[in-house]
Amino acid sequence: MRRPCCDKQHTNKGAWSQQEDQKLVDYIQKHGEGCWRSLPQAAGLLRCGKSCRLRWRNYLRPDLKRDGFGEDEEDLIIRLHALLGNRWSLIAGRLPGRTDNEVKNYWNSHIRKKLEYSHRHVGFTRLRAEISAARSKNQANDPETFIDFNGGKLEPTSKSSSGINLDLTLSIPSKNFESSDEN
CATH number where 93 lies? 1.10.10.60
Residue 182 lies in a domain: no
109 phi, psi to nearest 5 deg:
-95, -20
- Per-residue confidence (pLDDT) for residue 115, from 0 to 100: 72
What CA dihedral angle connects 71, 73, 78 and 80, to 10 degrees?
Answer: 160
**What's the count of helices (H) and strands (E) in the chain, helices before strands?**
9, 2
Domain count, the chain: 2
Mean pLDDT of successive 10-residue stretches along the chain, which has 183 residues: 64 91 95 90 92 92 90 91 92 93 91 71 62 65 49 48 57 53 47
pTM reported for the whole predicted model: 0.57
DSSP for 58-83, written as a single string: III-TT---SPPPHHHHHHHHHHHHH
H or E stretch including 156?
strand 155-157
pLDDT attached to residue 152: 47
Q: Evaluate whether residue 162 is within a structural domain.
A: yes
76 and 160 co-located in one domain: yes
| Contact between 86 and 77 (Cβ < 8 Å) | no
Q: Are residues 111 and 154 in the same domain?
A: yes
Q: Are residues 79 and 153 in the same domain?
A: yes
Residue 115 within any structural domain of the chain:
yes
Contact 65, 98 (CB under 8 A): yes
Domain membership of residue 157 as a residue range:
71-171
